[in-house]
Structure 1
Amino acid sequence: MKRRHFAIPAFAAAIAAIGFTGCKGGGGDKIKVGEFASLTGKEATFGTSSHEGTLLAIEELNAAGGVLGKKLELLTEDDQSKAGEPANAVNKLISKDGVVAILGEVASSRSLEAAPICQQSQIPMISPASTNPSVTQAGDYVFRACFTDPFQGAALANFSTGTLKATKVAMLTDVKSDYSKGLAKCFKEKFLANGGTLTTELDYNGGDKDFKAQLTTIKNGNPQAVFVPGYYTDVALIAIQAKDLGLTVPLFGGDGWESSVLLDIGKEAMNGHYFSTHCAADQGTPKMTAFVEAYKKRFGGKVPDAMAVLGYDSAMLLADSIKRAGTTEGPKLRDAIAATKDFEGVSGKFSLNADRDAVKALVFIKIDGGKFTYTATVNP
């Protein structure tokens, strides 16, 4: 497997080092932090964005003197958006590279593959954006810097019956994705509780190219909207084919839509549709404005998406926890992460609950004129 490694250069003179226990990646002159991400493959924008946010955070931390008097070294493995590769990547980062913590992944299925390895190795893992509840259920060394699908699913159900005034909805779910199935389940429970009716419930396999049969059946059910809890590569094709079939009702989904490639592929077929996500570059908060400026300067004018923000927040959360722990020793670092309260992230202020999940707001985005436009914030 082709892998990419990123070692972050030193920027400023280090302050006096504080001793570390153990022989992991905090024991030398640098603190080794592992990251696994989908830098290539069908969800490559997820990994690229989260990696760039993580990289920016590490660079900023090192420029400010590092953590506990040591510079951070980021070691990144590409899991290629493929099942089986996260386990390979995380095993290497832990057993060969000796990292003190793992950052990743965005996709829930890939986080679920890696989490038991981190748990068994007593190496803390922070997922920037995996929303399936099962991720942190792997054990007390597994955390996330994002909300979970029960919250997102309920918000989407309320959005459907409230904002969209859509009480008759069709649902199209990716049966190969833990994320899609989990979000669909959470949405359905709240939507039905709100008095909604599912006109059609159909499935597809992530990576499919032809959705016309499902969309024709959906159209015949006369829904007022269509819920598609999938990833951007599939959603864009679904939107194009829905438009071709004359299915003109709004499509809506979750944070799996979050990618500029959604617009690159779907183009005008995406207009008038909605999705929930973690934050928006045009929210206008001071922290977001500063982050957008720094990100654009570092990455050639590119506007960051939510995955970039969460990559940054997860790295900053780890650094903050190492400072509070005073060490990179696994159990003590785990305890410090678990104790996180009122962390001021770019994506908003959040605390970690007893299940090691971030309790935080989400936002809704409307796609209009080929752009993502911030619409509303929903607090937990």
Structure 2
Amino acid sequence: MFQDDRNNSPPRLFIIALVLIGFGAFKFFPGLFASKSSDISTSTPTSGASPDAIANRISLGNQLLVTSQTTPDKQAGIEAFKSGDFSTAIQKFQASLKQTRNDPETVIYLNNATARISPALLKIAVSVPIGSNPNVAQEILRGVAQAQSEVNNSGGINGAKLQVEIVNDDNNPAIVKEVANTLTKDPTILAVIGHNASNASLEAAPIYQQEKLVMVTPTSLANNLSGFGSYIFRTVPNISIMAAPLAEYAVKTGKTNIAICYDSQAPDNISFKDEFVAALIAAGGKLVPTVCDFSVPSFTPESAIADAVSKGAQGLMLAPHIDRIDRAISLARTNQGKLPLYGSTTMYTFQTLKDGQKSVDGLVLPVPWHPETNPGSTFPKNAAQLWGGVVNWRTATSFDATQAVIAGLKQSNTREGLQEAFKSPSFSTPGASEKVKFLPTGDRAGKPILVQVKQGGSTGYNFVPLR
């Protein structure tokens, strides 16, 4: 990697001068060296990862990725899986689930181990931010695991059992790029469920499109993904459909002057902000011109609230990156109920409730799915039985993404055939609530539900449908 070219080296004094200049620039102008990546995890590199490093992020059951959900039985199951002893792996994974039933990684590994002793297999991948946002990663994995369990327990896909390869991408665009390149080169992978954050999906989408591998993101809402390519799909509606009802609700309830704090490094929340503003103005509201960006190091909640209040804001809309929810919660705490709070879909997290508590009481935001608005669906009940609790919209849309892939693979178990199935106007399959159907843009056909934070639930607060 490094070359020693002493015959052409510059004079020593010149090198020392360059070092001193560089040190001074770093010390006094650190912003020049700040990463533009929206990933805030310090545990992962911000440049390309080596093949070995990517291999350590991928597992069918041969290594532990979700370290927060670990038992001795799970570790033993992983060791047995690694050595090819799938019967022992099955026993150990089952024993682990008796202790941690809500661990989706173990459910997927158990399904994979069981599938390995069957005569026919089909394989897909799911890429999630385990390192940077383990809660969100597990929400997505639960939807995938539930769909995998249901299809494998009912005979598989035309007799073939479904294997799911888990990938940890940390929502880091540089890592995501390497992940996408790796997955496309594996001919046994027929589709990818992912990615989570829109900046991650936008990094991967060109690679999947070029290499003709179907990507179905269950959570990325950025406008840029709409119509991106013939192999790019998502099981969430277009963000304009998500943002408009929230803006209309604010105006309808008399809050016409709205200030916005968003994340300029999160493409989905840039899109949400733009669509919210357009809908707000169309409904007769007004954007209060404040400067509030969750992504900048200089962000201070005190200044943001003071600025919004001084300029006559009657409400505040929060649109943070999924890995910077803590900054939005900090802003809500500083607000102390002065301004009614509205939020992008990203704000629907366990962290919002657990850390926000009274500060986020009354927060209103749109989601593509809620368990209380689907009385005729078996999904919420089945999910509660499997995981021991209520699941959220990310689990539902991830279930839908996997259900769509399963339905498509029943028509054709090739990459090209799956894509053709998805593009057919007649394609549809039962989902967590409504049927999964794709528009020509690759977006999900659907509509949002407004929810509000109210007292109740395990954290003391809960998201409930706005009646």
1:34 equivalent in alignment to 2:105: no
Moved more, 308-317 or 239-248: 239-248
From 267, 278, 302, the counterpart of 1:212: 302
Structure 1 position 360, deviation (Å): 0.3
C-alpha distance after superposition, 1:267-288 (max 9, x if no partner): 111111111111112224232x
Residue among 359, 362, 366 paired with 2:445: 359
CA distance in 2, matches of 1:245, 1:49: 29
Partner of 1:17: none
Q: SS of the counterpart of 2:188?
A: coil
How far 1:123 sits from its partner (Å)?
0.9
Seen in structure 2, the aligned counterparts of structure 1 residues 137 and 101 have a Cα distance that, compared at 3 Å, is same
Equivalent residues in 2 for 1:165-184 (5 A)? 165-184=254-273
Structure 1: 5+ residue runs without aligned partners?
15-27
Does 1:187 find its partner at 2:276?
yes
Q: Among 72, 75, 78, which residue is 2:165 paired with?
A: 75
- Look up the equivalent residue of 1:296 and give its one-letter code: A
Q: Cα 1:233–1:78, aligned 2, differ >3 Å: closer, same or farther?
A: closer
Equivalent residue, structure 1, for 2:137: 47
SS state at 1:206 partner: coil
Gaps of 5+ in 2: 1-52, 61-108, 456-460
Distance 2:158 2:423 in 1: 19
Structure possessing the higher relative contact order (Cα contacts under 8 Å, 6 or more residues apart)? 1
Show the counterpart of 1:198. Answer: 287
Which residue in the other structure is 1:349 paired with?
Answer: 435
1:147, 1:245 → 2: CA distance? 31
SS in 1 for 2:396: helix
**Structure 2 counterpart of 1:249, one-letter code:** L
CA separation of 1:86/1:12 partners in 2, compared to 1, >3 Å: closer, same or farther?
A: closer
What is the CA deviation profile of residues 6-53 of structure 1, one whole-angstrom value per residue up to 9, with x for unaligned ones? 342337997xxxxxxxxxxxxx93111011111221x33222211111
Distance change in 2, residues 1:61/1:246 (3 Å): closer
CA distance in 2: counterparts of 1:37 and 1:219, whole angstroms: 38
In structure 1, what is the equivalent of residue 395 of structure 2?
A: 308
What TM-score does the superposition give when structure 2 sets the normalisation length?
0.71
Give the partner amino acid of 1:214. A
Classify 1:73/1:233 alpha carbon distance in 2 versus 1 (closer, same or farther; 3 Å): closer
- Aligned partners of 2:235 and 2:443 also within 8 Å: yes
* CA 244–128 in structure 1, closer or farther in 2 if over 3 Å, else same: closer
Deviations 1:148-180 (A, max 9, x none): 111112222212212x32111111111111011
Higher strand share: 1
Conserved in 2, the CA contact under 8 Å of 1:239 and 1:270? yes
2:423 paired with 1:338 = yes
Q: Can you list the C-alpha shifts for 1:296-326, whole angstroms capped at 9, x where unaligned? A: 3333x23211101111110001111111x2x
Bigger radius of gyration among the two: 2
How many angstroms apart in 2 are the aligned matches of 1:133 and 1:343?
24
1:294 paired residue number: 382
Q: Structure 1 CA distance, aligned partners of 2:205 and 2:402?
A: 17
- Mark the CA change 1:92 to 1:11 in structure 2 (over 3 Å): closer, same or farther: closer
Q: Which amino acid aligns with 1:346?
A: A
Letter in 2 for 1:298: L
Indicate the structure with greater helix content.
Answer: 2
Inter-partner Cα distance in structure 1 for 2:214 and 2:381: 30
Residues 215-364 of structure 1 aligned to structure 2 (within 5 Å): 215-231=305-321, 234-246=324-336, 248-287=338-377, 290-299=378-387, 301-323=388-410, 325=411, 327-339=412-424, 341-364=427-450
Aligned residues: 356
Residue aligning to 2:57: 3
TM-score by length of 1: 0.87
| 2:192 aligned residue | 102
Flag the 1:134–1:244 CA change in 2: closer, same or farther, 3 A: closer
- Rounded Cα–Cα distance in structure 1 between residues aligned with 2:281 and 2:226: 27
Preserved contact between residue 255 and residue 315 of structure 2 (Cα < 8 Å)? yes
Q: Deviations over 1:239-296 (max 9, x none)?
A: 4444435452211112101211111111111111111111112224232xx3233223
Query: In 2, distance between residues paired with 1:11 and 1:294?
Result: 22
Per-residue CA deviation, residues 58-104 of structure 1 (Å, 9 max, x unaligned), is: 11111111102211110010011222111122222221463011111
Contact kept, 8 Å, 1:292 with 1:304, in 2: the verdict is yes
Of 102, 126, 131, the residue aligned with 2:216 is: 126
Quick one: which of 105, 111, 120 aligns to 2:201? 111
SS of the residue 2:435 aligns to:
strand
Relative distance call for 1:235 and 1:92 in structure 2 (3 A) is closer
1: distance between equivalents of 2:447 and 2:381? 23
Deviates more, 1:215-224 or 1:181-190: 215-224
Checking the alignment, whether the CA contact within 8 Å between 2:216 and 2:233 is kept in structure 1 is yes
Distance 1:160 1:343, change over 3 A: farther
- Offset at residue 142 of structure 1 (A): 0.6
CA 1:232–1:108: 2 relative to 1, 3 Å: closer
CA distance in 1, matches of 2:228, 2:296: 27
- Per the alignment, do residues 54 and 220 of structure 1 end up closer, same or farther by CA in structure 2, a change over 3 Å counting? same
SS in 2 for 1:100: strand
Which of 56, 72, 90 is the matching residue for 2:146? 56
- Over 3 Å counting, the alpha-carbon distance change for 1:243 and 1:75 in structure 2 is closer
Paired residues of 1:233 and 1:262 also in contact (CA < 8 A) = no
Identity of aligned residues (%): 18
Deviates more, 1:182-191 or 1:239-248: 239-248
